[in-house]
Amino acid sequence: MIRELSRPYPARQGAPRIRAVDEAIFRYAYFSDCRTCSFCKDQCCSWGVDVDAANMARLFAHAEPLEARTGLRRERWFESEIRTDPEFPGGRVGRTRAENGGCVFLDRDRGGCHIHAYCLEAGLDVYGLKPLVSALFPLTFEDEALVPSREAEEGTLVCRGAGKSLYRGSRGALEYHFGGAFVAELDRLELLQAGPRG
């Protein structure tokens, strides 16, 4: 069920704007500690990911260390098409390339995301450099609503099952991108979903 929020919440870069949430984000659970997962084989990194143009520029600002990590020149990171999409910051979005069954930023030796690992090693804010869609996964946004990703909704997400709710697993990313008031309202909705205790 889609529930309207008390007001729209724009992301820190102006978009997307979230005015409603699918209550399934509080019910569906998954193994949220991706960096310690031993069973999914990075299934969620099998494809490229949408990246807004400003985020691309931030990645290019770290091109040398990321090229060293990935073994790929920056010219190979993104597909050539840039499309218009008002739900993304700046309204322009591209996509990371997928090669040999995985995103170009997939760490094929150690698993996980090269961008994420680089940020941790360099002392950078992961959410400031990692693409928004990746940071929120397995949540996503469409038509100004925060919803489960297609994989989580359909049950094809390998790690869906026991663990934190989709909301709890992505709460830090949501707070970074949409602010404290946003997660405070979602916390209240989460409590309503839990129902009376006793």
Model confidence pLDDT, tens digit, residues 16-58: 999 999 999 999 987 555 555 454 455 556 789 999 999 999 9
Q: Mean pLDDT, to the nearest integer, of 172-189? A: 98
User: By the 8 A CB rule, do 176 and 127 touch?
Assistant: yes
How many other CB atoms are found less than 10 A from the CB of residue 188? Answer: 10
Q: Per residue in 96-150, pLDDT tens?
A: 999 988 999 999 988 889 999 999 999 999 999 999 999 999 999 999 999 999 8
Confidence (pLDDT) at 39 = 47
Taking the complete model, does pTM exceed 0.85, yes or no?
yes
Q: Per residue in 47-91, pLDDT tens?
A: 899 999 999 999 999 999 999 999 999 999 999 999 999 999 999
Q: What is the number of alpha carbons within 13 Å of residue 111 lying toward its C-beta?
A: 12
Confidence (pLDDT) at 197 = 39
Q: Check pLDDT > 70 for residue 157.
A: no
Confidence (pLDDT) at 47 = 81
How many other CB atoms are found less than 10 A from the CB of residue 87? Answer: 17
| Amino acid (1-letter code) at residue 140 | T
Cβ-based burial of 175 (10 A; exposed 0-12, middle 13-18, buried ≥19):
middle
User: By the 8 A CB rule, do 186 and 23 touch?
Assistant: no
Confidence (pLDDT) at 198 = 31
Sequence-distant (6+) residues with CB within 8 A of 28 are 148, 152, 153, 160, 165, 166
Structure tokens at 159: 């790690």
